[in-house]
Amino acid sequence: MEKTLILVKPDAVKRGLVGKILDRFEQSGLKIVAMKMIWVDKDMAGKHYTTNEEFLVGMGNKTLKTYAEYGKDPLEVMGTKDPLEIGKMVRQWNLEFLTSGPVVAVILEGIHAVTIVRKIVGATLPTFSEPGSIRGMYSIDSPVLANDRKRAVRNMIHASGTVEEAKLEIELWFHKREIYDYHRADEDVMF
């Protein structure tokens, strides 16, 4: 049994997709054990998006790879080829995005919840997310367009990447008293 955190990001909230998105998780057998709508400030968003340099370099390298694939010059668009600097820029865009409207924060519980949720959410970039995944179904945003406009890719959901990350993120977003333990009727049939 695992718990994991998802954030329905401001683009999905503003598009009225909260119900459809949560439905996907609930139907799979994952249980909502905590949920709230919250419009966070930059301070909170900054705690959510790590400043870990290794992570930022990784993010920068991913962005550089996208530029190479689409034949774009990162120097022209971003003003640098340094993966750390690019990673910091993408982080900044993420802070702006996450604070641009309310988000719905949810803790989902279930067997292998972290992995199952990432599968249902789909790959980070909508161009590569599987058609049946949430990102694949509801978004066609592209990193090339996003980088040109100096904003985060609008991919509707954040989901914890690992069990360790899930623990930290759950502690950041919820008090223990906001997390409930209850029995869902279909658990008897499914498990």
d(CA 73, CA 31): 45
Closer of 28 and 124 to ligand GDP (Cβ): 124
Q: Does an H or E element contain 22, and which?
A: helix 18-28
HEC secondary structure over 57-123: HHHHHHHHHHHHHCCCCHHHHHCCCCHHHHHHHHHHHHHHHHCCCCEEEEEEEECCHHHHHHHHHCC
According to the binding rule CB under 6 A, does residue 6 interact with ligand GDP? no
Q: Is 37 left (phi over 0), alpha (psi -120 to 50) or beta?
A: beta
- Judged by CB under 6 A, does residue 90 bind ligand GDP? yes
Which of 21, 33, 59, 107 binds ligand GDP (CB under 6 A)? It is 59
Task: Tell me which stretch binds ligand GDP (CB under 6 A): 22-30, 37-45, 58-66, 103-111.
Answer: 58-66
Q: Is 158 a catalytic residue?
A: yes
Per-residue binder mask for ligand GDP (CB under 6 A), 94-113, x = binder: x-------------------
Neighbours of 183 (CB within 10 A): 7
Instruction: Give how many residues touch ligand GDP by CB under 6 A.
Output: 16
Residues between 142 and 181 with contacts to ligand GDP, criterion CB under 6 A: 143, 146-147, 152-153, 155, 158, 161
- CA–CA gap between residue 181 and residue 88 (Å, rounded): 38
Identify whether the C-beta of residue 166 lies closer than 8 Å to the C-beta of residue 4: yes
Which among 147, 144, 48 is positioned nearest to 89, based on CA atoms? 147
What is the C-alpha separation between 162 and 159, in angstroms, rounded?
9
Asked if residues 144 and 63 have their Cβ atoms less than 8 Å apart, the reply is: no
Taking CB under 6 A as the rule, does residue 4 contact ligand GDP?
no
Smallest separation, CB 59 to ligand GDP (Å): 6
Nearest distance from C-beta of residue 14 to ligand GDP, angstroms: 15
Q: Closer to ligand GDP by CB, 33 or 78: give it.
A: 78
The one among 21, 31, 56, 66 contacting ligand GDP by CB under 6 A: 66
**Which residues carry out catalysis?**
158
Residues that bind ligand GDP (CB under 6 A): 59, 62-63, 66, 90, 93-94, 124, 143, 146-147, 152-153, 155, 158, 161
